Amino acid sequence: MKEKKYITESNYKEDDALDYETSRNYLIISSNKRAWLVAGASLFVAVLLAIALATLIPLKRVDLAVVKVDKNGFIDIITNLDEQIITKDEALDKHFIGKYVKTREQYFYNTLNQDYENVQMYSNKDVSNVYVKQMTETKTGKLDTLKNKFEIEAEILSIVLNDSNGTKTSTVRVELKEKDVTTNSVAVITKVITLTYEYINLKQNAKQRLENPLGFIVNSYRIDDEIKRVDDEIKEESK
């Protein structure tokens, strides 16, 4: 009995093409090879797509934030410390700006000397001279008008950092609560402060270096009343 011969690529001969059965088997084997090759390529592409999707999914996220809108329409974003992502430079700038504005605008008679010295340490000569005049001017200075009968608490509402042609600027909203110590009555007003600042290599003693290690200096300082919304002004006039 003649043994059947199966043709493969290694033993295929032209004479075998005359044998119908062997030719048929050869075509089947070749077809199966192509099918497995296509299936393998498809599986490889599918795996690559799955990896790509797994990599891209974390990039798609929806961040929810709680915001507070005050009576004048200003919006503040309320976040927990671990939810707010800021750079180290931004954190340092806001720290020193907030500390400076709060120290300058608050007024507590018992700590007045310390605040007075610190504000001058964080100010350049021109800004310092203006501040000294505002504090010590006869009859109009804070020391003469407020004495130990009033206190002013300063609360920072927001700090926005900007850059104007290489000059670091900041806009600060601060709420001032002026309390009459004798009557305990409190007047509240919101101010908008615009300042410019920089970090320079200052000559300081050991005490000053502890207070201002990076040489933070305010080069200009302007304070204005916050612009109220028109509807609020109408309500106040109608009272």
**pLDDT, tens digit, for every residue of 13-49?**
555 455 556 666 666 777 778 888 888 888 888 888 8
Span 194-218, pLDDT tens digits: 999 999 988 878 888 888 899 999 9
Q: Taking phi first (over 0 means left), then psi (-120 to 50 degrees means alpha), and beta for anything else, what does residue 146 get?
A: alpha
Span 87-108, pLDDT tens digits: 889 999 999 999 999 999 999 9
Q: Are 104 and 197 in contact (CB under 8 A)?
A: no
Burial class (CB in 10 A: 0-12, 13-18, 19+), 216: buried
CA 29 remoteness from chain centre: 65
